[in-house]
């Protein structure tokens, strides 16, 4: 390969690294999550670690933070060999970590969360007073404004993330590790985060940024290390590389970063939604009058930050949540008041790839051939009456596995033994091959490796080209932009606006995702 | 109902509420740390048995209490080992402790004293005596306040007062100390505590141990505090479960726990006086219905009629790092 891994030959390698890992290995049972990894991170830089899901990035950083124990290898902090048996030791060594899933106590205040574990004495009052003063100072210094008396459950994820950063800074961290920090943020929030990170770097802090988003690496890092299947495949200066090269290093072969598709040729409306409202079990109104139409031969993408009603939209259309309003598929009204279920929807020609494939899309302990029949088990192809034709089901599964490139192509294997990408291919194969007029597809590539993403995207476009209607929900803005023909942005249970995909960009959509329309801006 | 009877009922309320309150606070510490403790009943029972047994044989009620605490702590250790160290199911561990306690107390009691699972009657000095407050006899005849002071407040055992004092103390520990902050945090999100560099295991064991001590006080109040005089098989009679009901009723907070236990104690006091009930309310009611009231009220609470009762979020779940 032309890209010979250059390990730390770039200019920044003079001086003592802030972090040096030597020969770190870690196995979870039979899975080797980290294989003999060595890396040097120079002080005062932003170092990116990129790799696909399951490449071992988070494991490596959890070892550095003392959350997991390495099977072998050494850690040097500022040149000194350091043992990190637990998080307390990491904190003492000046390391702070912002986990992908925040480690906050939801019903505590911001102040209590910051103080937890870093109290000055047995009584709380003096610690809280000291922290309050310090937070005010940190807020001024780094644009980290948060109301110290707000409860975590009352503030948005962007603010929750600031609390995590404040926790680290309050503990005097000089090294800050962030694991996929932008996954839950709107583009403006992500921009704000990056400003904070640049600011921290200017103050001499060392930052390690774990991400799978190439754009972020190119935007903000000085150096980038690439991981693939538990191994560190390369470390390069960011200015000497480009997204295509990084993608190739991540996957191990050339990949197409954009989706290849011809302009849409939309036909008659397939899905028509008018004034759809949904109230959830807690009595919160999740959809506040949504109206949409998806035409044949068209992909409508729903953009938005997670939790703004997209999930409820899919669930009510998929037949497992109640709502009010009118929904028509090919002109026929669909009952959304709760008298029909998911099976009626499938019989009405609606295929559904749910957002959470492990929870709603598959039964993990069932074999692939049983999962392929889920929701379609009553169809004649799979048997008569109460009796199921297992031989036909297995043959059908083998056929679908081959056409959707599911690896390993073994119908007898339990769903839980496939990788995330291959699990998703099983679900996608089942729903696309059932011949729907309308396909609902939520987070099609969440937790899926780049190679499988490419494949799944091709299948979705191919379905569109057969003249089917597709409603795509994704929190990955890049995915929405590259796959959709039209884009609707959801915020707080409402459609904030609809754009033609070719005529819009991340900035315009980002404002809509944050609830800012031209009128209010 | 005349004033004297009301005083009597209030006095009984305080006495009957006391073991409930101590057990309820035990449950509060344990559950606030994320460990469900259905074994309150069993721990009370073992402590009641050991306290009475050792008080009878050694003649010292304090030594009895000490052994009772040791026994209850041993069961706490079993519960902690099963549900914290080995990440077992907390409900199963608790139920097992209850069965173990109910069987062991009778078997050991029979072979020890050969009185059908009872301990011998405790005489003077072998049980906690009722304390008379200073001045109680002098002001007894003053209207209202005087009689409340001397008839209701005064004249209980030290364990009753310990239970009452434990309420503000628990509140202070939970909300004003570092230990309390960490304890509440570990019941809500143990990962937050772990990543802050604090041992989840140690915190949870500490909470379970506090629960053990409080359960022992509750058990000793049942068997060794006047007017009780010894252990009788299964003498806790579901009080551990009523304490859990009170805990839910109180939404896992100390002062509401006091209120809930006083209410449930009052219901028990009424149930003991069916004739009085009929006389004062004009209709009679089955004692069983009054006994069932704590559970009925808890169901009403759980159904969400009186505000939501949200348990600690990590309750019942063993802490496992991701993967």
Query: Strand pairing partners for A276?
Result: A290
State the average pLDDT over residues A352-370. 91
In the predicted structure, residue A521 carries a pLDDT above the cut 50:
no
Interface contact flag, A104 B180, Cβ < 8 Å? no
Same structural domain for residues A165 and A187? no
B14 and chain A in contact, CB less than 8 A = no
Residue A161 belongs to a domain:
yes
In the predicted structure, residue A31 carries a pLDDT above the cut 60:
yes
B188 and chain A in contact, CB less than 8 A = yes
State the average pLDDT over residues B251-257. 95
B198 and chain A in contact, CB less than 8 A = yes
State the average pLDDT over residues B186-198. 95
In the predicted structure, residue A86 carries a pLDDT above the cut 70:
yes
Q: Token digits for A178?
A: 């962030």
At A511 the pLDDT is 87
Q: Which residues contact A220 (CB under 8 A, 6 or more apart)?
A: A46, A48, A194, A197, A198, A209
Residues from chain B that touch A90, judged by Cβ atoms under 8 A, are 197
Interface contact flag, A108 B185, Cβ < 8 Å? yes
B176 and chain A in contact, CB less than 8 A = yes
Residue A184 belongs to a domain:
yes
Give per-residue pLDDT as tens, B193-221.
Answer: 999 999 999 999 999 999 999 999 999 99
Angle between helix B61-80 and B200-224 (nearest 10)? 140
Same structural domain for residues A14 and A88? yes
Same structural domain for residues A310 and A324? yes
Q: Which of A28, A89, A105 sits opposite B188 (nearest CB)?
A: A105
In the predicted structure, residue B139 carries a pLDDT above the cut 90:
no
Interatomic CA distance for residues B318 and A324, integer angstroms? 40
Interatomic CA distance for residues A445 and A267, integer angstroms? 27
Which of A98-102, B72-76, B146-150, B157-161 is predicted least confidently? B146-150
Q: Is the peptide bond before B227 cis (omega within 30 degrees of 0)?
A: yes
At A14 the pLDDT is 64
Interface contact flag, A89 B197, Cβ < 8 Å? yes
In the predicted structure, residue A253 carries a pLDDT above the cut 80:
no
Q: Which of A104, A107, A116 sits opposite B182 (nearest CB)?
A: A116
B287 and chain A in contact, CB less than 8 A = no
Determine the 3-state secondary structure of B71 from DSSP: helix
Give the percent of chain B with pLDDT over 70.
Answer: 98
Residues from chain A that touch B185, judged by Cβ atoms under 8 A, are 105, 108, 116
Interface contact flag, A119 B181, Cβ < 8 Å? yes
Residue A398 belongs to a domain:
no
Interface contact flag, B321 A68, Cβ < 8 Å? yes
Closest CA relative to residue A298, chosen from A267, A274, A329: A267
Backbone φ, ψ for residue A381 (5° rounding) = -60, -25
Same structural domain for residues A227 and A334? no
At A494 the pLDDT is 94
Q: Token digits for A512?
A: 């809509």
Q: Which of B175, B188, B197 sits opposite A117 (nearest CB)?
A: B197
Same structural domain for residues A3 and A145? no
Give per-residue pLDDT as tens, A411-444.
Answer: 999 998 887 788 999 999 999 999 999 999 999 9
Interface contact flag, A115 B181, Cβ < 8 Å? yes
Give per-residue pLDDT as tens, A156-182.
Answer: 888 999 999 999 999 999 999 999 898
CB-based contact B93:B78 (threshold 8 Å)? yes
Q: Which of B181, B193, B313 sits opposite A112 (nearest CB)?
A: B181
In the predicted structure, residue A395 carries a pLDDT above the cut 90:
yes
Helix (H) or strand (E) segment spanning residue B281: helix B274-281
Closest CA relative to residue B71, chosen from B47, B53, B95: B47
DSSP state of A154: G
Interatomic CA distance for residues B191 and B322, integer angstroms? 9
DSSP result, A387-405: EE-HHHHHHHHHHHHHHTT
CB-based contact A404:A372 (threshold 8 Å)? no
Residues from chain B that touch A117, judged by Cβ atoms under 8 A, are 182, 193, 196-198
At A147 the pLDDT is 94
Interatomic CA distance for residues B98 and B104, integer angstroms? 10
Identify the residue with better confidence: B66 or A252.
B66
At B75 the pLDDT is 97
Phi and psi based region of residue A42 (left: phi greater than 0; alpha: psi -120 to 50; beta: remaining): beta
At A4 the pLDDT is 43
At B281 the pLDDT is 75
Report domain extents, chain B: 3-127+143-237
Nearest-neighbour CA in chain B from A197: distance (Å): 21
Residue A45 belongs to a domain:
yes
How many CA atoms are closer than 13 Å to the CA of A464, on its beta-carbon side?
28
How would residue A10 be classed by pLDDT, with cut points 50, 70 and 90? very low
ipTM of this predicted structure: 0.90
State the average pLDDT over residues A487-499. 94
State the average pLDDT over residues B236-264. 93
CB-based contact A312:A280 (threshold 8 Å)? yes
Give per-residue pLDDT as tens, A304-326.
Answer: 988 899 999 999 999 989 999 99
Residue A430 belongs to a domain:
no
What is the residue-averaged pLDDT of chain A?
Answer: 89
Q: Which residue has the tokens 């830089």?
A: A45
Interatomic CA distance for residues A426 and A469, integer angstroms? 20
How would residue B305 be classed by pLDDT, with cut points 50, 70 and 90? low
Interatomic CA distance for residues A446 and A359, integer angstroms? 13
Buried b (16+ CB within 10 A) or exposed e, A355-377: bebbebbbeeeebbbbbbbebbe
In the predicted structure, residue A289 carries a pLDDT above the cut 90:
yes
A67 and chain B in contact, CB less than 8 A = yes
At A277 the pLDDT is 96
Query: Strand pairing partners for A352?
Result: A440
DSSP state of B142: S
State the average pLDDT over residues B58-85. 96
Residues from chain B that touch A107, judged by Cβ atoms under 8 A, are 188, 313
CB-based contact B231:B129 (threshold 8 Å)? no
Q: How far is CA B173 from the centre of its chain?
A: 18
In the predicted structure, residue A188 carries a pLDDT above the cut 50:
yes
Same structural domain for residues A147 and A231? no
Give per-residue pLDDT as tens, B12-47.
Answer: 999 999 999 999 999 999 999 999 999 999 999 999
Closest CA relative to residue A103, chosen from A62, A147, A51: A62
Best of B182, B183, B188, B192 to disrupt the A interface (most A CBs within 10 Å) is B192
In the predicted structure, residue A254 carries a pLDDT above the cut 80:
no
DSSP result, A34-81: EEEEEEEE-TT-EEEEEE-TTSSHHHHHHHHTTSS--SEEEEEETTEE
Same structural domain for residues A188 and A168? no
At A5 the pLDDT is 44
Rg of chain B over all Cα atoms, to the nearest angstrom: 20
CATH number, position A294: 3.40.50.300
Q: Which residues contact A106 (CB under 8 A, 6 or more apart)?
A: A151, A152, A153, B188, B189, B313
B304 and chain A in contact, CB less than 8 A = no
How would residue A467 be classed by pLDDT, with cut points 50, 70 and 90? very high
Identify the residue with better confidence: B49 or B8.
B49
A119 and chain B in contact, CB less than 8 A = yes
Identify the residue with better confidence: A478 or B64.
B64
What is the residue-averaged pLDDT of chain B?
Answer: 91
Backbone φ, ψ for residue A233 (5° rounding) = -90, -25
At A257 the pLDDT is 67
Q: Mind spelling out the 3-state secondary structure of B20-70?
A: HHHHHHHHHHHHHCCCCCCCHHHHHHHHHHHHHHHHHHHCCHHHHHHHHHH
B194 and chain A in contact, CB less than 8 A = yes
Identify the residue with better confidence: A236 or B117.
A236
A126 and chain B in contact, CB less than 8 A = no
Residue A333 belongs to a domain:
yes
Q: Which of B181, B188, B189 sits opposite A124 (nearest CB)?
A: B181
DSSP state of A419: -
State the average pLDDT over residues B286-298. 80
Residues from chain B that touch A89, judged by Cβ atoms under 8 A, are 197
At A380 the pLDDT is 85
Backbone φ, ψ for residue A105 (5° rounding) = -90, 115
DSSP result, A68-119: S--SEEEEEETTEE---SSHHHHHHTTEEEE-SS----TTSBHHHHHHTT--
At B282 the pLDDT is 77
Helix (H) or strand (E) segment spanning residue B209: helix B200-224
At A437 the pLDDT is 95
How would residue A269 be classed by pLDDT, with cut points 50, 70 and 90? very high
Q: Which of A116, A127, A167 sits opposite B185 (nearest CB)?
A: A116
Q: Which of A88, A108, A122 sits opposite B197 (nearest CB)?
A: A88
Residue A223 belongs to a domain:
yes
Strands A223-228 and A46-51: parallel
In the predicted structure, residue A282 carries a pLDDT above the cut 80:
no
Determine the 3-state secondary structure of B216 from DSSP: helix
At B189 the pLDDT is 96
Which of A123-132, A377-386, B197-206, B261-270 is predicted least confidently? A377-386
Give the percent of chain A with pLDDT over 70.
Answer: 96
Residues from chain A that touch B321, judged by Cβ atoms under 8 A, are 67-68
Residue A349 belongs to a domain:
yes
Range of the domain at A238: 1-94+174-255
CA distances from A269 to A14, A295, A313, A328, B12 (A): 63, 4, 18, 9, 75
State the average pLDDT over residues A101-125. 94
B201 and chain A in contact, CB less than 8 A = no
Same structural domain for residues A476 and A346? yes
Give the percent of chain A with pLDDT over 90.
Answer: 64
Nearest chain A residue to B183, by CA = A116
Interface contact flag, A124 B194, Cβ < 8 Å? no
Phi and psi based region of residue B209 (left: phi greater than 0; alpha: psi -120 to 50; beta: remaining): alpha
Determine the 3-state secondary structure of B1 from DSSP: coil
- What is the count of structural domains for chain A? 3
How would residue A507 be classed by pLDDT, with cut points 50, 70 and 90? confident
At A119 the pLDDT is 94
Query: Strand pairing partners for A66?
Result: none
Closest CA relative to residue A351, chosen from A492, A265, A189, A459: A459
Rg of chain A over all Cα atoms, to the nearest angstrom: 25
DSSP result, A227-283: EETTEEEEEEEGGG--HHHHHHHHHSS----S---PPP---SEEEEEEEEEEE-TTS
A113 and chain B in contact, CB less than 8 A = yes
Interatomic CA distance for residues A74 and A25, integer angstroms? 10
Interatomic CA distance for residues A138 and A145, integer angstroms? 8
Predicted TM-score (pTM) of the model is 0.81
Same structural domain for residues A335 and A460? yes
Residues from chain A that touch B196, judged by Cβ atoms under 8 A, are 87, 91, 103, 116-118, 167
């Amino acid at each position: 390969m032309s890209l010979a891994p250059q390990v730390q030959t770039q200019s920044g390698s003079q001086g003592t690294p802030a972090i040096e890992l030597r020969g770190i290995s870690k196995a979870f049972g039979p899975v080797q999550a980290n294989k003999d990894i060595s890396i040097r991170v120079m002080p005062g830089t932003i170092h990116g670690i990129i790799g696909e899901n399951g490449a071992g990035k988070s494991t490596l950083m959890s070892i550095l933070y003392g959350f997991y124990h390495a099977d072998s290898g050494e850690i040097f902090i500022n040149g000194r060999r350091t043992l990190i048996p637990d998080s307390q030791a990491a904190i003492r060594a000046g390391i702070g970590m912002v986990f992908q899933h925040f480690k906050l106590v939801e019903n505590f205040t911001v102040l209590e969360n910051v103080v937890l574990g870093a109290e000055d004495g047995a009584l709380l009052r003096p610690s809280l007073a000291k922290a309050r003063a310090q937070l005010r100072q940190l807020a001024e210094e780094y644009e980290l404004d948060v109301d110290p008396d707000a409860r975590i459950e009352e503030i948005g994820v962007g603010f929750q993330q600031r609390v995590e950063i404040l926790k680290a800074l309050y503990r005097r961290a000089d090294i800050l590790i962030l694991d996929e920090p932008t996954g839950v943020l709107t583009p403006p929030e992500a921009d704000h985060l990056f400003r904070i990170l640049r600011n921290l770097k200017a103050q001499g802090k060392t930052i390690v940024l774990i991400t799978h988003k190439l754009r972020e690496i190119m935007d903000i890092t000085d150096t980038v290390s690439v991981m693939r299947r538990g191994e560190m495949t390369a470390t390069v200066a960011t200015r000497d590389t480009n997204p295509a090269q990084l993608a190739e290093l991540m996957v191990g072969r050339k990949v197409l970063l954009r989706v290849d598709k011809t302009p849409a040729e939309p036909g008659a409306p397939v899905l028509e939604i008018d004034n759809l409202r949904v109230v959830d079990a807690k009595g919160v109104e999740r959809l506040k009058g949504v109206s949409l139409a998806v035409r044949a031969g068209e992909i409508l993408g729903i953009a938005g930050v997670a939790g703004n009603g997209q999930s409820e939209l899919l669930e009510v259309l998929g037949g497992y949540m109640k709502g009010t309003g009118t929904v028509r598929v090919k002109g026929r009204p669909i009952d959304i008041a709760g008298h029909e279920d998911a099976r009626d929807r499938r019989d009405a020609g609606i295929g559904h790839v749910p957002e959470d494939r492990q929870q709603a899309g598959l039964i993990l302990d069932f074999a692939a051939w049983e999962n392929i029949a889920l929701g379609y088990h009553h169809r004649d192809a799979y048997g008569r009456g109460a009796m199921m034709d297992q031989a036909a089901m297995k043959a059908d599964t083998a056929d679908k596995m081959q056409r959707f490139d599911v690896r390993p192509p073994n119908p007898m294997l339990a769903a839980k033994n496939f990788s995330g990408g291959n699990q998703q291919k099983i679900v996608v194969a089942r729903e696309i091959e059932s011949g729907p007029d309308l396909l609902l597809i939520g987070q099609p590539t969440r937790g899926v490796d780049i190679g499988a993403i490419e494949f799944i995207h091709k299948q979705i476009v191919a379905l569109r080209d057969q003249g089917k209607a597709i409603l795509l929900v994704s929190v990955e803005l890049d995915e929405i932009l590259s796959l959709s023909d039209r884009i609707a942005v959801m915020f707080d249970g409402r459609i904030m606006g609809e754009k033609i995909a070719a005529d819009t960009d991340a900035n315009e959509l980002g404002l809509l995702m944050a609830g800012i329309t031209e009128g209010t801006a | 109902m005349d004033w004297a009877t009301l005083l009597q009922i209030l006095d009984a309320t305080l006495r009957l509420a006391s073991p409930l309150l101590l057990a309820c606070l035990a449950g509060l510490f344990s559950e606030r740390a994320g460990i469900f403790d259905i074994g309150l009943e069993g721990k009370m029972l073992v402590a009641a048995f050991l306290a009475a047994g050792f008080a009878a044989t050694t003649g010292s009620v304090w030594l009895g209490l000490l052994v009772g605490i040791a026994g209850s702590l041993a069961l706490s250790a079993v519960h902690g080992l099963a549900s914290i160290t080995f990440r077992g199911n907390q409900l199963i561990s608790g139920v097992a402790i209850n069965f173990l306690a109910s069987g062991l107390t009778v078997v050991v009691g029979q072979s020890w004293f050969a009185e059908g699972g009872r301990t011998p009657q405790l005489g003077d000095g072998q049980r906690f005596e009722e304390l008379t407050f200073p001045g109680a006899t002098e002001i007894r005849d003053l209207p209202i306040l005087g009689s409340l002071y001397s008839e209701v407040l005064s004249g209980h055992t030290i364990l009753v007062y310990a239970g009452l004092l434990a309420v503000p103390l628990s509140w202070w520990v939970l909300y004003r100390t570092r230990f309390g902050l960490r304890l509440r945090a570990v019941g809500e999100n143990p990962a937050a505590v772990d990543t802050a560099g604090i041992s989840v295991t140690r915190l949870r064991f500490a909470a379970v141990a506090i629960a053990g001590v409080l359960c022992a006080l509750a058990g000793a109040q049942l068997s060794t505090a006047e007017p009780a005089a010894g252990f009788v098989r299964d003498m806790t009679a579901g009080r551990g479960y009523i304490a859990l009901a009170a805990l839910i009723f109180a939404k896992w907070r100390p002062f509401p726990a006091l209120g809930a236990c006083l209410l449930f104690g009052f219901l028990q006091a009424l149930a003991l006086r069916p004739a009085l009930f009929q006389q004062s309310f004009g209709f009679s009611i089955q004692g069983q219905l009054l006994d069932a009231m704590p559970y009925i009220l808890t169901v009403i609470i759980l159904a969400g009629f009186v505000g939501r009762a949200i348990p600690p979020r990590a309750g019942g779940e063993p802490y496992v790092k991701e993967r």
